[in-house]
Structure formats: C-alpha cells, structure tokens
Structure 1
Amino acid sequence: MTEGHSGSSPTEGQPGSSLTERLSIVVAGGGTAGHIEPALAVADAVRRLRPDALVTALGTQRGLETTLVPRRGYPLELIPPVPLPRKITGDLFKVPTRVRASVKATGEVLDRLQADVLIGFGGYVALPGYLAAHSRKRKVPIVIHEANARAGLANKVGARYADRVFAAVDDSGLSAEVVGIPVRHAITDLDRGALKAQAREFFGLDPNAPTLLVFGGSQGAASINRAVSGAAAALGYNGIGVLHAHGKKNSIEVSPVAGAPAYVGVPYIDRMDLAYAAADLAVCRSGAMTVAEVSATGLPAVYVPLPHGNGEQRLNALPVVDAGGALLIDDADLTPEWVETKIVDLMTDPVALQAMSLSAAGVGHRGAAEAVATAALELAEQHRAGER
C-alpha cells in the first residue's frame, strides 16, 4: 500500500448515487486507537443519520487505521505522516518540508473527494487535514473533537480555524462544547445483564462466579499482568473468575486452583463488548477511550494510569472516580497483595459493585457521536449549498 489512495474506490461499500450528488465527509483520526475509535464512532453515526453520505478516513501507513478502518468498511486515504511534538517547541519547525508535503497530499485528497466537511480528532493525521481544509482555495468546514483531558498540539492549532469544537471534558485547553467521547453503538447500546450468560460462555468463564476483567490496551501492561496473575490463587480461593488480556507480546503464568472458577488468559480480546458484558469489575489503564467505553457500559473499574507521560491518564479517570464509579491506584502501588485485599473485598461485595455500576453509568456519555456527526452534517449541507 502506498501513500495516496488506499486502493478503495471513493464510493466502494457505501450506498447512494454519484460523488457529486452526495455529501462527502472526511474523518481524520489516525495513529492510535484513541484517535481512530472516536473517528469511526462518528463515521458510524454519520451513516446512521445520512446513509447516502460518503464517509472517508484519512490515515498513514504507520498507524492502526490501516487495519481498523477497512475492517469497519470505510475507504482509507493515506497521506505522508508528520509526527508532532506534544508541546509547541522548536522541534515543530524542524519538519516544514514534511508538513508541506503532507498538507499538499491531503489537499489533493480533499479535492478529489469533493469534501464538504473535515472532522478531526487530533494527532499527526489531523494537523495536515486542518491546514489543507482551511486553505484559501478550499475553505472546507472543520469540526474538531478533543478526547483527552489536555488538548494535543494538532487540535490546539486546528481550533484556530474550526467551525465547531467539541471536547470530552471541561478544561481541555480548548474553547469547546463538552459532549464526552464518541463511542460505537455496540458499546453505548450494550445491555450487560442480558448478554452476561452468552458472554461468559463465549470466553469459557464460570457462568455464576463474579468475574474480573483485566486488560492493558492492545499491547497489554506488564505491571498489571504481574499484579493480577500474582494474586490468582487468592482470587480463585475466593470464587472469583478472571478474563485477562495480557497482550500479544506478553505472557502470564497462573497455577490453577482446584475447584475454582476459570482464570482465562488471552493475548487480545476482539469482542470487547462481550468482555464488558461478562465482567463485574475491570482493572485497566485509563486512556481516554478506555474510560469512555468502560463508563458507558456502567462497568465499575480500578484504573491504573500509565506511570509516565504528562499525567493525562489520571485526569481521564478522575471524573468517574469522583462520581464513585471507579477506584484509582498508582502503577507502583498495584501489587499482588493489593489485589488480594482490595479487589477481593470489592469483588465479593455485590452491593458495592452495583452502587459503583450506577455511578459509572451516570458519568458515561452515550450521545457524543451523534452530536459531533449532526454538527458536521449541518456544516456539510451549508458548504454544499454554497451558504458559507
């Protein structure tokens, strides 16, 4: 696959008539799942609201979008990547040639697709999109969504030109309408209770035991793996089942406890909707998308923020923690002994788990994708009608 057109025709897999008669929506959110999943959730919402619209994703060869976008049935247009510093520093001015090349390539994509609106979600795919869309000859409307507690550089730049700006939380650093994080329908419409038996059977879990879900993102989290697998015996003796996604490059060693519920270890979970349905409590990192999905389903959680970075993972979790829907523990404090006491106590207290579930669900946003999609479609209609 080369940079430029991904190999899909602009209208492949989507209903409707010719390109010129259809609204053309471009979503820019590549690199990590935290950018891609909100973009695809909004793309899905656009399709629900306007089934005849053409929705195309921008991406680069180096991001997860090369797998995730085609899997969801959307055309993918590849542009040259422009890695960005997380802060406005001198490093930004060391890459002007790459920026110009990426903006030029992105502009060619927008022209060929006859884009009526660009919806950006930050990261190194979004910035060339913002600059190309805002060019004097194009003036394509721009909608921005910021998922993190602290806005990244791309969205800070793009917000200067945007027609509408949305954010997941207050105080992101942008002047924005707070709507939460766009989450796919398979999660926002999930009925955990109705699917619990099916979900536990799917993963080979005990149908009746309280169940702990453990995951650390697509790559796993070694510290979480060590702490929970190290407490496997205590979990088993207390009648707690475990579904543990340890990461494709990691492994865990667990000695089975005779007569205890299953401790199921897997490299990766494709059906996170069923994983959420199977569980009574999650132990996981607190990336913005993770917190959004977990809270949207009403699943109580123990959030373990990454021990490095700018602290945004801790900020992502705080609204749910403050509402009573989750606990927060530093990575260094998560030990097998902590799991054996705190998590075992919580997992064997169904009243406490139910209270946390209600609190988590109260924080979760279920209409964010539709809110962003509706705003984008309104701007696209105006652009197509020549009202701008």
Structure 2
Amino acid sequence: MKLVFAGGGTGGHLYPALAIAQSWKENHPNDEILFVGTPRGIETTVVPKYGFPLYLLPVEGIPRRVSWETLKKLLLIPKSLINAFIFLKKEKPDMVVGTGGYASFPVVFAATLLKIPTVIHEQNAYPGVANKILAVKVDAVCLTFGEAGKRMKAKNFYETGFPVRREFHTNAEKRNELRKKLGVGIDELLLVAFGGSQGALTINKVVGYLLPEIMRRPNLRLIWATGPRNYENLRQKYKNLPERVQMVPYIDNMPEVLPAADLAITRAGAATLAEIAASKVPAVLIPYPYAAENHQEHNARAFVNHGAAILLRDAECSEDLVRATILPLLDSPEKLVRMAENAGKMLRQDSLQEIIGIMEWLLKQKSNKKN
C-alpha cells in the first residue's frame, strides 16, 4: 500500500500531516509513505528528519487576496495540476491525504480526477480557500472544529479534532527529564516565546518589553524563536544576552521544548494550540489579527474560557499592558499549574485513531469495489 501526503509551507499545515503519517506507519509498518511539498516550505528541512521521502513539485497555492500577484498565481495553477498529474500517474498511490499548504490543492485535486481515494484535514474553524474547493470532491473531510462544516460543502464530514505528533504526548510525561536536558534548574521558570514557523513581529516586540525584567530575575529562563527573517536584526539589537536567554531563528525540536515550559507566549493558530494542549502548558495568546474571519482570536477564546490561557490583542500590546499581564503570572506558580492542568483538558485524545479509522475504511471500500 502506498500513501501520499500533501501539505506544508508552514508548520500549521505540515505537522498535522506528519502526525497522521507517523500514526499510519505505526499501524501499517509495511506501507510506503511519500510526502509532496514545495522548495519554499519548511518541509524541505523537517520531513527528512522523520524518515519520509519528500518530493518537491513546482506548485502554487490559491491566494486569498485579489492582486496582480493573485492573477499571476492563478495562471500557474494549470501547470501545477499537470505536475501533480504526472507525479500521481508515476507513483500510483492508493490514497492521497491533504492538510493544506501550497502543494495540497493541486495534488489532492488531481487525485480526485484520477479516482484515487482522498482525505483532507481542515485545521481551523474558518476553512481555507483550497479546502473549500476540495471539500465537494474528496471522499472525506476531517475537521478540528465541527463548526467548520457549516462553512463548506462536502460529501462526508468527520469532526476528528487536531492530530498532534506523538512526541508531544509522550514528552508531556517526561517534563522533569526535558527540563534537565535544557539546563533548567529546579527553582527556575522557563518561558518559551515563538510566533509560528515564520516568526511574528508582535511576539518579538512583547519579548523586548519583558527582557529587562528577565535580565533582573536570575530564576527566569527564556527560549525565544524570532523567526528566520527577524533573527539577524534582533541578534544585533540584543547583544551579550546571558546564557539563560536563548535566541534562535526557529525551534526545530519543539516537542522537546514546549512540554518543558512554564509559560508559552505565542500566536493562536490551531496547530500551536493543539501542541500547547498536548504539552499541558499555560499560555499568553496573541492572535494574528489578519487571520481569515479573525479565527485565531476565536481559537484563543476557547482556551481563555477554560482557564488555560490569557488573551492579549495584537493592537493592544503596549509595554505597560504586556508587563501588567505577564509579570504577575510569573509570580503566581499556583496559577500557572492550574492553567497547565486546564490546557491538558483542551485536546481531544482520540483524534489520530479516528482519522486513521476513516482512512482504513475508505481503503476497504475501494478494495471491496475492486472485488
């Protein structure tokens, strides 16, 4: 059996695909799994570390905003579809799974035309353009949030929750071991700040507001992912940081870092929140304000309402408000523990099992039709 996974560009699209692929391989160790991505995405460095072959196709995604750039990309879609057709005809997979991103649309769309069984996963409450188009053609649409089904048409919807890589679940139970490995002392607090795989200017600004206090408190440690584009400028701006303040472009070992944290400062994408929940970590959430239908704030409020996070709006992140919101948390270890416990309750535990079950059922249906 051969399966193709198409998803990437950013971590929010790639990591769900990796989680599903890992789980499938555990259940079907003899099956072959291939990933399809583009040269521009983080999949070029991440997927090989997981041991899966990666095929790079010169494909383009569907832009959300209307512009001259949009028109150029729309003209490239036929070429992307041809590339996807050629790839699928050559590999002859038994199933194609799409999780969004540049490569997902043309590969999944081509698979539907070739009558290959197809499954897509929509991570957000407000579906992306590509998944809205694909939903009416694929065999199964898996949803993190059931309400996303109200915003798209499909043959079959399944509310499965968000598939999280197994390392987050296992490492959440090894917190002390991870902290020791990272050099975090018994009496120290570890803050982890990141803005997704591309970084976030507002997250970096917020950390800048907190740095003087972090420098004054010897019991505070910080791992700060600036994003690749911002790293050099910030490294020059904040020279001679102590060893306990670690600035990096990107955290590529997040399953070993996030579960060790006492507090995360981050955006509120569905992937990030699922990993926070699996890691049982409290968070200060600063939703990306330009996300479709403001879905990140919608995501964040669910965590806030369950006592797992505190919300700061991007436009309101003044130095005074940031310090007044975050510094008291650092002086309230009991509150952080309660928030961590609540975060752990936010994740659906059987997401991967359900998605794998749907895939197995579709393949069985295909086999029965052949017979």
**TM-score interval, smaller chain:** 0.7 to 0.9
The yes-or-no answer on 1:187 pairing with 2:149 is no
After alignment, is 291-300 or 100-109 more displaced?
Answer: 100-109
In the TM superposition, residue 190 of structure 1 has moved relative to its aligned partner by 2.3
Percent identity, please. Answer: 32
Which amino acid in 2 is paired with 1:375?
A: I
Gap change, CA 1:336 and 1:278, over 3 Å in 2: farther
- Residue in 1 aligned with 2:119? 143
Which amino acid in 2 is paired with 1:357?
A: A
- Residue in 1 aligned with 2:179? 200
- Residue in 1 aligned with 2:299? 316
Instruction: State the alpha-carbon separation in 1 of the partners of residues 278 and 108 from structure 2.
Output: 30
Q: Conserved in 2, the CA contact under 8 Å of 1:57 and 1:77?
A: yes
- Residue in 2 aligned with 1:105? 83
Normalized per residue, which structure has more helix?
Answer: 2
Corresponding residue SS for 2:4: strand
Gap change, CA 1:62 and 1:91, over 3 Å in 2: closer
Q: Conserved in 1, the CA contact under 8 Å of 2:268 and 2:297?
A: yes
Which amino acid in 1 is paired with 2:159?
A: V
Which amino acid in 2 is paired with 1:211?
A: L
Which amino acid in 1 is paired with 2:186?
A: P
In the TM superposition, residue 268 of structure 1 has moved relative to its aligned partner by 2.8
Corresponding residue SS for 1:183: coil
In the TM superposition, residue 281 of structure 1 has moved relative to its aligned partner by 1.0
Instruction: State the alpha-carbon separation in 1 of the partners of residues 354 and 166 from structure 2.
Output: 14
Corresponding residue SS for 1:213: strand
Corresponding residue SS for 1:156: helix
Question: Aligned to 1:262, which of 224, 230, 244?
Answer: 244
Q: Conserved in 1, the CA contact under 8 Å of 2:36 and 2:103?
A: yes
Give CA-to-partner distance per residue, 1:308-330, whole Å, 9 cap, x none.
34322222322212211111111
Q: Conserved in 2, the CA contact under 8 Å of 1:298 and 1:360?
A: yes
In the TM superposition, residue 200 of structure 1 has moved relative to its aligned partner by 3.0
Count of residue correspondences: 359
Gap change, CA 1:277 and 1:90, over 3 Å in 2: closer
Question: Aligned to 2:132, which of 149, 153, 156?
Answer: 156
In the TM superposition, residue 88 of structure 1 has moved relative to its aligned partner by 9.2
Gap change, CA 1:387 and 1:357, over 3 Å in 2: farther
Gap change, CA 1:149 and 1:97, over 3 Å in 2: same
Gap change, CA 1:201 and 1:327, over 3 Å in 2: same
- Residue in 1 aligned with 2:220? 240
Contiguous gaps of at least 5 residues in structure 2: none
Gap change, CA 1:122 and 1:325, over 3 Å in 2: same
Gap change, CA 1:89 and 1:214, over 3 Å in 2: closer
The yes-or-no answer on 1:349 pairing with 2:332 is yes
Give CA-to-partner distance per residue, 1:50-100, whole Å, 9 cap, x none.
111111112222222222222211122233312312279999787665333
Instruction: State the alpha-carbon separation in 2 of the partners of residues 236 and 275 from structure 1.
Output: 21
Which amino acid in 1 is paired with 2:190?
A: T
Q: Conserved in 2, the CA contact under 8 Å of 1:88 and 1:153?
A: no
Corresponding residue SS for 1:208: coil
Gap change, CA 1:279 and 1:97, over 3 Å in 2: closer
Q: Conserved in 2, the CA contact under 8 Å of 1:228 and 1:336?
A: no
Instruction: State the alpha-carbon separation in 2 of the partners of residues 306 and 96 from structure 1.
Output: 26
After alignment, is 140-149 or 78-87 more displaced?
Answer: 78-87
Instruction: State the alpha-carbon separation in 1 of the partners of residues 325 and 170 from structure 2.
Output: 30
Contiguous gaps of at least 5 residues in structure 1: 1-22
- Residue in 2 aligned with 1:69? 47
- Residue in 2 aligned with 1:16? none
Which amino acid in 1 is paired with 2:259?
A: A
Which amino acid in 2 is paired with 1:247?
A: G
- Residue in 2 aligned with 1:222? 201
The yes-or-no answer on 1:301 pairing with 2:296 is no
Corresponding residue SS for 1:134: helix
Give CA-to-partner distance per residue, 1:125-158, whole Å, 9 cap, x none.
12212321121xx311111100122101111111
Which amino acid in 2 is paired with 1:39?
A: A
Corresponding residue SS for 1:363: coil
Which amino acid in 1 is paired with 2:147?
A: D
Q: Conserved in 2, the CA contact under 8 Å of 1:110 and 1:133?
A: yes
In the TM superposition, residue 274 of structure 1 has moved relative to its aligned partner by 2.3
Which amino acid in 2 is paired with 1:126?
A: S
Gap change, CA 1:245 and 1:63, over 3 Å in 2: closer
- Residue in 2 aligned with 1:291? 273
Q: Conserved in 1, the CA contact under 8 Å of 2:61 and 2:105?
A: no
Instruction: State the alpha-carbon separation in 2 of the partners of residues 104 and 255 from structure 1.
Output: 52
Q: Conserved in 2, the CA contact under 8 Å of 1:87 and 1:152?
A: no
Instruction: State the alpha-carbon separation in 2 of the partners of residues 367 and 231 from structure 1.
Output: 38
The yes-or-no answer on 1:168 pairing with 2:144 is yes
In the TM superposition, residue 233 of structure 1 has moved relative to its aligned partner by 3.2
The yes-or-no answer on 1:44 pairing with 2:25 is no
Q: Conserved in 1, the CA contact under 8 Å of 2:189 and 2:220?
A: yes
Q: Conserved in 1, the CA contact under 8 Å of 2:259 and 2:280?
A: no
Instruction: State the alpha-carbon separation in 1 of the partners of residues 134 and 9 from structure 2.
Output: 17
The yes-or-no answer on 1:79 pairing with 2:79 is no
Normalising by structure 1, report the TM-score.
0.83
In the TM superposition, residue 255 of structure 1 has moved relative to its aligned partner by 7.6
Which amino acid in 2 is paired with 1:131?
A: F
